[in-house]
Structure 1
Amino acid sequence: MDDYPAILGVYSLSIEADVGTGGTSVRHENVTYWYARQLSPEQFEIQPLNAHHVPSGVRSVLGELDFLRQYTPEPTYYRVHTVPALETLRRKIEMGQDAFVNGDLDEAERQFLKALMIDDRNIEAHYGLGEVYSEKKDFDKLKKVLDTLLGLEEAFTFEFRQKFNSFGISLRKNGHYDESIRYYEKSLEIVDTDENVYFNLARVYFEKGHNDHCVTNLEQALKINPAFVEAQKFLKYCQKHA
């Protein structure tokens, strides 16, 4: 069985257009570079490269025929420019994560900021920076990171589920309840069938002292997954102490 998504590398898209009018018209070729992944035998995903040669920005999905007709493989560009840039980006993120685990929040912040200089939309770096500011209780900077994440729907997809959960827990444990609620509600706008999000949202409301909202979210979690034992116990506790 084939493994998807599969990284294909960098591809170019060439578009010709006439610049000027009449006798001064000149045909100009505009070449852009894209990071390509194959999602299935029939679907291909493309994402533009930024000035630092790394994929950043909106992803688009094309059918096989459109992709093969329009895009040209650029293996040399990929090897010379994109692979080293991605390795540098990955190294900065890993250094930030290691520093965070070791409790060096200032160094973690520096490394995540360096990563964002390479890709200002990098979701892992934004999540890492958010956890740093959550631990530092730097509300202003945390709000900016949260606003950025709320504008990146990809941050709430399954691919980043572990980062999503970690950041959500960090927000709640550090008392950023209103931010936690915004965060989880945004997630539910994108995927409203995850019982764990409802459960975590219930915990936030419980810690804020909003028992009714807590119960409502626990009931929704159990509606999705009636066998959710933790939610069952939590709901019984809330009803007993109402």
Structure 2
Amino acid sequence: MSDYPQILGVYSLQLEAEIGTGGTAEKRSNITYWYARQISQKEFEVQPLNAHHVPSGVRTVLGELDFLKQYTPEPSYYQIHTVPALETLARKIEQGEQAFSAGNMDEAEGQFIKALMIDEKSIDANYGLGEVYSHTKEFNKLKRVLNTLLGISEAFTYEHRQKFNKFGISLRKNGHYDESIRYYKKSLEIVNDDENVHFNLARVYFEKGMNEPCMASLKDALNINPQFMEAQKFLRYCEKNM
């Protein structure tokens, strides 16, 4: 198993900007704080901290030399601000998931919303809240959460594959077919070599009565994995009965 990614903590980036013009011009330093991970032997990933001291927003990958030259470790900042904030965020998400599993949708919604107040782009919290609204069939709220997730590319990567699959199944089982199709198509724009996504998209098309797209998605799944038994059986059924 790979030793990466490794959490390095919080680092600062200091940039100088010139304020004013002519004789009144002066240089001022601007310091920003970033959450850093080492993702390979020679690559480092930085993500800005938000107002609540947690990583949120676009991740940037840097080479070793650029990272070491530009960024300065801030261990005290990490321990005092970021670690407690991340622990609170994780606790709210865990409490939301427990409430959802217990069937307490109001409590689950409240905990996920509290988590999003710490990090509005939290993938886990958005997935959790999306599942709540999928289950309660609150379409407008579900649509807002889905739009948020569709704008976060990392939500569709392998790192979040378990939550991704669970949410997609929830959309389909609760009859949100159009939303499910949008969701899976967005995933395929980012990760196109996952036969399971093509298969799950085929199931949505099947339930909508869209036979040709269903079979096309099954063939896409089998092009990636010809030994995919469920897709083989599903395609044979479709070809026989449609």
**What band does the TM-score fall into relative to the shorter chain?**
over 0.9
Provide the C-alpha distance between the structure 2 equivalents of 1:98 and 1:122, rounded to a whole number of angstroms: 17
Q: What is residue 34 of structure 1 aligned with on the other side?
A: 34
Where does the alignment leave 5 or more consecutive residues of structure 1 unmatched?
A: none
- In structure 1, how many angstroms separate the alpha carbons of the residues matched to 2:28 and 2:211? 64
Segments of 4+ moved more than 6 angstroms: none
**Shift in Å at residue 2 of structure 1?**
6.0
Match of 1:196 in 2: 196
Match of 2:89 in 1: 89
Residue 223 of structure 1: SS of its match in structure 2?
Answer: helix
User: Take 2:115 and 2:184, find their aligned partners in 1: how far apart are those partners?
Assistant: 25
Q: CA deviation at 1:94?
A: 0.3
**2:99 is matched with which residue?**
99
- Opposite residue 30 of structure 2, the aligned amino acid is N
In the alignment, structure 1 residue 147 sits paired with structure 2 residue 147:
yes
Q: How many residues align?
A: 242
Q: Does 1:46 align with 2:29?
A: no
Partners of 1:27 and 1:150 in 2: how far apart?
Answer: 40
**Aligned mates of 2:141, 2:179 — CA distance in 1:** 12
Q: Which amino acid aligns with 1:186?
A: K
5+ residue gaps, structure 2, are none
Identify the residue that residue 205 of structure 2 maps to in structure 1: 205
Equivalence for 1:233: 233
Counterpart-to-counterpart distance in 1, 2:213 and 2:102: 36
SS of aligned partner of 1:227:
coil
Give the Å deviation of 1:134.
0.1
Look up the match of 1:156: 156
Matches within 5 A, 1:124-135: 124-135=124-135
Inter-partner Cα distance in structure 2 for 1:106 and 1:134: 13
Residue identity matched to 1:10:
V
Q: Distance in 1 between matches of 2:66 and 2:213?
A: 48
**Matched residue type, 1:150:** L
Partner SS for 1:14: strand
Q: 1:46 to 1:105 in 2, by over 3 A?
A: same
* 1:104 aligned partner, one-letter code: N
Q: CA deviation at 1:195?
A: 0.7
Give per-residue Cα distances to partners, 1:123-178, cap 9 Å, x unaligned: 00000000000000000000011111111110000000000000000000000000
Q: Which amino acid aligns with 1:132?
A: V
Q: Report the TM-score, using the length of structure 2 for normalisation.
A: 0.98
Question: Any idea what the Cα deviations from partners look like across 1:180-221, whole Å, max 9, x if unmatched?
Answer: 100001111111111101100110011111111111111111
> Which residue in the other structure is 1:21 paired with?
21
Q: CA deviation at 1:40?
A: 1.0
